[in-house]
Structure 1
Amino acid sequence: MKALQGVEGRVEWVERASPPCDVGQVRIQVAAAGLNRADLLQRAGLYPPPPGASDILGLECAGVISEVGAGSAWQVGERVCALLAGGGMAQEVVVDARHVLAVPAGLTLAEAAAVPEVYATAWLNLFQLAGLKPGEKVLLHAGAGGVGSAAIQLCKAFGNACWVSVGSAERLAYCEALGAKGGVVRADALDSLRDFGPFDVILDPVGAGYAALNLQLLAQDGRWVLIGLMGGREAPLDMAQILTKRVRLIGSLLRSRDEQFKADLLRDLGQHVWPLFAEGRLTAQLVQTFAAKDADAAFDQLASNTICGKLVLLIDENLS
């Protein structure tokens, strides 16, 4: 099979052996794969896959089941999407059957490929780890990206007002159209987020660059969920604020979680989140697709930090 790997800061299609499909697994003929910042980091050699995971790029995909291992209730021919630790940007992928969900009602395979990683990340960090309750206020840094787009919609669906920090006025307007109450353009006046706080939960892919401000913005018993380090890894912190506000700082990575954890997360998504697609309360926010031959252009577009929503790479355009 053909598969996409990162090579010295670029991507390259290579020939790989098709992996076996063992007990409890399914083989998916991949129609499309979503792009994520983790793929950019892996392409640059900065984010190797967890031990035992495929080194092929791609943390989410959608397609059609072509083989079912013993012990799985899935059927050949079913249209599905999958959460992966790697391997999605290939003609085939073999995955734990518990990490697969049916394509949400009303979505194409390309749209479905843009859903598993970002909705799993947003749901895990906001609702499971931070324990977000109806009526609590949320701040989403980098709100126009894939995770931010999913998080805004989930907040709206479950009764949580949210605000964002973003890179441009266009991206702020995009977030507000999705359901954010407002926010700031980071180059203008990041400190003006104080006008909207305090916040019960902050979802933060930035890290050090926003650390001091996050502590100031958090409410009593606030939760700061750190999911990335785009703004650096080291920052001084006022420990007194953590103590007196009873702040919880939660570090979170999904990719390296074990198989059972992901199975439980996907089951929760299927129960609480997937029905909202059929109701029209959630969308994939797919902004652009790229043909397989244009993979470099897709990665460059993601790296530009100018997009709103999700990009998807079309692996097999004949699947529907």
Structure 2
Amino acid sequence: MLPFEEDAKAATWIANQELFQRDPELLKVAEHIRGLDRSEERFAAVLRDTIDQLLNGEATGRYAWKQLFKTEKTHAGTLVEINLQREFRFDDGSDVNDHPMDYRILGIDVDCKFSQDFGGWMIPPEAMGYLCLLVWADDYKSRWSAGLFRVQADWLNTGGNRDKKLTVKAEHRDKIFWLWRDAKLPENVLLHLPEATRNQILLKGSRKGQKRVIELFRLVQNRRIGRGAVRTAAQQLDYMARLREGDGRARTVLRKDGIVIAGPYSKHQAIARQIGAEVPQRGEFVSFRVVEAQPHHADRPRVELDGKYWVLATPDDPAEEAPRLPKVANESDA
């Protein structure tokens, strides 16, 4: 974590001292969640994977939230709740007023509510007086937030829907303790590409999965590409096979043009970092073009592969065949 991020975190906790004094259970749960190993990275990955799960690109070819059916959007909250519990292994919550709370964290019941619209969390009346984990993610903004909120009647809007669920009043959102606020959501690359580029990748027709994957990594270089984008391009269950070395497959085809594909493996991450490329994280891949280092490349960052030194290519560098990246085990599990 960078120093300014540590300072921002400290400032947030200091600003909420009054809230913590009034609600020691909230502080206890907040410290536990923030203290979990790589909690922010894992939370963001769960949200990315859940949105991709809803889009189901390998079967549908969809890449945007607006392409979901209304019933699928409604189901998003349940999937977020389930996937967070699987990732962090929260215990099941208690039954409260015939309402099963989602989690029990350090003996404290917590309900989980997700909304793609900030402030749209629908809180059931049975959760009155209990803690809620409020989660928001927006794929178009590539941002997400998660905070803890003690449900109190005077902090909620009156009315509600036919299930009598209520929302937090805008003026009382300061009662939410933000574990993470406007954090970066791993990018949905296909969603944010220019339409012309996206159309070059998402070719129409069957049996074009390999071609689509090759074009994805050819046209989208030095940018982190998640598994969801690869699945959507391949539209096949064995989408990872489209990436590997082999006749006609992406790594072999693109290597001839000088393009390598780094995955979320320590050896590949080290190479990307050393050469100055974007570094793939969990469930991500990055393609970038390389050329053998020459005197005119001066002191540009370089990496040794196959007994030669390589640098990131510029548009002026002619294409030349790239070296193979080191083999890794369990590539399909990344």
TM-score range, shorter chain: under 0.3
If the length of structure 2 is used for normalisation, what is the TM-score?
Answer: 0.27
More strand by share: 1
The structure with higher relative contact order (CA 8 Å, sep 6+) is: 1
More helix by share: 2
